[in-house]
Structure 1
Amino acid sequence: MPVSKKRKSKKSVKQRAYAIKRAKELDAGITTAEVNRLRRIRLAAPSASALVAELTTVAETSHGSALQDELCKRLGAILSEGEGRPLDQFFRASDFAVALVDAAAGPLRSGDADAAAWRVLDASVQILPGELLEAADDQLPDVENLLADPERRSAPEPLSLAGQAQWTRDRYGSRFAVTAPFETPGSPPRWYLWDVDACTFVPVTVFSGFFGSPEEALAAWQSGVGSVAAGDARWTDIDDALLLNDILPREEGHMALGGETADQFAEYYRCRRLAEELLDPARKVPAVVDRPANPEPSEFAARYGERDVTELAEALAELWGGITPSLFRTCSPHRVAYVALAAHDEFGPDFAAEVLELLPDWVTWIAECSGLGPDLTARSLAYATGKPHPDLGSIPRDMDTQAVVVE
């Protein structure tokens, strides 16, 4: 078969997934990027100052986890508004993190702030993931000294892991729930839930938040996933630390993926901070379970006999596999609909049409390889001809990365 001149290189797909990482690397060496970052932090400053003023009033009667909850509740609208501004006015979640810590430290720099001001600074620092906290430290070197001040008042203990984490996944194998109990001294533990959709190129935490029990967390996840997909899912012990590391959220390159809702932005910092706690190398979690080798595109191509579909099979495998190889065998309506949209986005129309011609056979093959039941295979095949998924519409998934898909 002749090579399509319309096909993009494989690098183009990976570039989309690693855009965040590349932006970080570029920022490290380009002075103009740092100037732009400082400008964005200044744009975020008024919103950060207003938030700190609100929280200082709240902190007169609230502290610890309760104050963190209030902070997160208010963050959603601010962060989504900042990322939705025109290019010359927008600021990122990472920019707001620095502005927030700066605003919280402001009253303390004079040395005469009350306990409420200290509580706001502590709450602001304790929800930030390590990479963003380091960025704030770089921009605001005096904050570390403030936090080490022996006169610091009412410094709360940070949230800490209070028991064993558990997880479950849907019947398709690519939508996960992870929960773990966290507590502060003197308060009962609460269970944090990460609802992770790994059907696309990059696993995305589409929902996260605290619940009063693991049962409540599971019920919330089942509702968000849908009864067909959730089936009879139950919590089990985590037996694959490598996969857990692959699917939990992290901060990379100081940029959000794009498309986060206000509710998702409310937990943007904290879900990453608590994921770091859960992924601490000191935690004793089994490294990896035995997995069968992933099927090769050549195995699929061999099904066509004398017809050479090797390049088309490789293109499908590239879109299908994403950055989590251990999930290559999973197949869901969401994944199929995403691949159909991504093919149009990645390849020229002629090559995309050739790729999509094979998609129904590909889905059937993957379902056979994974042992997916006929009912779930049929639901996946419904989108193999390019039919839009109702929860995704017609926008390529990388432009709508936070969609919650219910099956």
Structure 2
Amino acid sequence: MSPVSRGRKPKKSKKRRRVQARAVRTVGLGTGKPAWFEPTITAVLDGAVRLESVRGLRETEQLTCELVGAQLHRVIQEGHAGLHFSWWFDELAGAARERDARRLLLGLASIGAPEVDYGLADPPRVTATGEVFRMRDVYGSRFAVLARFSYEDDPCVYLFDIDASEMVRLVSAGVFDDVDQAAAAWLADVGAAAGDVTPRPVEDVGELTCLSQLDIGGLAVFGDESRVAMDNWFRAQRRQDDLAEALAARGMPLPLDESPYDCDSTLMVAEFTAWYENTRGVPPDPDAVASLAEQWMEGALPETWYSVSPRRVETQIALLSDWLPDEPVTIAAKSLLPDWVAWLGERARLPDHLRAAVR
């Protein structure tokens, strides 16, 4: 139900997207070939000479990712618009064919879409086994999906490091020797928020909604993507597709990519209202609670609706700043946010040091 139909003042938009919280550029819009294509493709081709000194598919793929990621990251940092990354990748593959850069083509074929013409009679074999493990931090909004793969005859694990505190985004990714090594890398990155979590085998495919909702290579580019994320811009898409195919073959298709903007906040509103009345002795402003709950849930994974983290709070503050500032519902919602955060931290039974970080 919209804010207007409930009798509340409309905010800036009835359909608020979390990407309003920061400037977003798009990938794949426009028609003319961007000027950044040629110099970045040349840089990758020139750097590909380093591939002659590496051995094996895994090392070839990794260096290819780094060569490609360096240029994508550079383009983002320089603020270019019209980021046609898929088109750029096709042009890069064509330039590599013309130069007969076979090692680079092997690396590109390992990370890129299968339909691209790599000019290879014997494409590289990277195979998902369908064995998947998952970890989730104490806040409940950051996930590790660890999937076993085989590079030719070299077994390994691919790590998807996923942040779902706002839009579902790839924070980091990479190839590791085994599950323990991948888990250790994720735990080190997450730090105290990881708690004592350990990798668990995924038995219910619903646990992989965080992966199916991950739109790697979609239209949104935020500008703060890490270098590691850009190194994996294409590889993560390919590994995601490979894994989905392997899971489907095992009768475990990834959950459907349903809209995260269809949510009912009724229960959340009722729970917070009861908590607030019990804590404060008076009922909260009903319109402010309803607006706050709607925004908190909208665009989030269902399993993170009741999750609270510092990043999630930062996003909500940014979104609240986009509301009409002088409207009573805006003022009331902003005043309720500290209580909302306290309630969620208490409900999640966060340890004191993590509640302090949220506050």
**TM-score interval, normalised by the smaller of the two chains:** 0.7 to 0.9
Deviation at 1:327, TM superposition (A): 1.4
SS at match of 1:218: helix
Kindly indicate whether the alpha-carbon contact (under 8 Å) linking 2:133 and 2:199 is maintained by their aligned counterparts in 1.
Answer: yes
Deviation track 1:282-309 (CA, whole Å, cap 9, x = no partner) reads 2444988xxxx97332443465598572
Kindly indicate whether the alpha-carbon contact (under 8 Å) linking 1:59 and 1:119 is maintained by their aligned counterparts in 2.
Answer: yes
SS at match of 2:225: coil
CA RMSD of aligned residues (A): 3.5
Correspondence 1:236 to 2:233: no
Correspondence 1:44 to 2:37: yes
SS at match of 2:157: strand
Which residue number in structure 2 is paired with residue 300 of structure 1? 272
Correspondence 1:310 to 2:286: yes
Which residue number in structure 2 is paired with residue 172 of structure 1? 139
SS at match of 1:331: coil
Distance 2:354 2:42 in 1: 52
Kindly indicate whether the alpha-carbon contact (under 8 Å) linking 1:191 and 1:212 is maintained by their aligned counterparts in 2.
Answer: yes
**Residue 96 of structure 1, aligned match among 88, 94, 98:** 88
**Residue 360 of structure 1, aligned match among 319, 338, 344:** 338
**Residue 127 of structure 2, aligned match among 137, 154, 160:** 160
Kindly indicate whether the alpha-carbon contact (under 8 Å) linking 2:54 and 2:60 is maintained by their aligned counterparts in 1.
Answer: no
Deviation track 1:159-178 (CA, whole Å, cap 9, x = no partner) reads 11136110111112111111
Distance 2:250 2:129 in 1: 12
Gaps of 5+ in 1: 28-32, 108-112, 138-142, 383-407
SS at match of 2:31: helix
Deviation at 1:63, TM superposition (A): 4.8
**Residue 249 of structure 2, aligned match among 272, 275, 282:** 282
Deviation track 1:140-197 (CA, whole Å, cap 9, x = no partner) reads xxx37x44xxxx3xx243211136110111112111111122222232x122212211
Which residue number in structure 2 is paired with residue 106 of structure 1? 98
Give the TM-score normalised by structure 2.
0.79
Deviation track 1:365-393 (CA, whole Å, cap 9, x = no partner) reads 3345x4424526732551xxxxxxxxxxx
SS at match of 2:109: helix
Which residue number in structure 2 is paired with residue 398 of structure 1? none
Aligned residue pairs, count: 336
Correspondence 1:35 to 2:27: no
Distance 2:83 2:358 in 1: 41
Kindly indicate whether the alpha-carbon contact (under 8 Å) linking 2:341 and 2:358 is maintained by their aligned counterparts in 1.
Answer: yes
Deviation at 1:23, TM superposition (A): 6.5
Distance 1:323 1:378 in 2: 21
SS at match of 2:249: coil
Distance 1:266 1:358 in 2: 41
Distance 1:371 1:327 in 2: 11
Kindly indicate whether the alpha-carbon contact (under 8 Å) linking 1:64 and 1:184 is maintained by their aligned counterparts in 2.
Answer: yes
Distance 1:255 1:381 in 2: 27
Alignment of 1:350-389 (within 5 A): 350=327, 351-368=329-346, 370-373=347-350, 375=352, 378-379=355-356, 382=359
Which residue number in structure 2 is paired with residue 401 of structure 1? none
Structure-2 change in CA distance of 1:380 and 1:354 (3 Å): farther
Gaps of 5+ in 2: 256-263
Correspondence 1:217 to 2:178: no
Q: Tell me the amino acid that sits aligned with residue 276 of structure 1.
A: D
Deviation track 1:179-227 (CA, whole Å, cap 9, x = no partner) reads 122222232x122212211112x12221111122221211111111112
SS at match of 1:173: coil
Deviation at 1:276, TM superposition (A): 1.8
Kindly indicate whether the alpha-carbon contact (under 8 Å) linking 2:313 and 2:358 is maintained by their aligned counterparts in 1.
Answer: yes
Deviation at 1:254, TM superposition (A): 4.9
Which residue number in structure 2 is paired with residue 8 of structure 1? 12
Kindly indicate whether the alpha-carbon contact (under 8 Å) linking 1:204 and 1:247 is maintained by their aligned counterparts in 2.
Answer: no
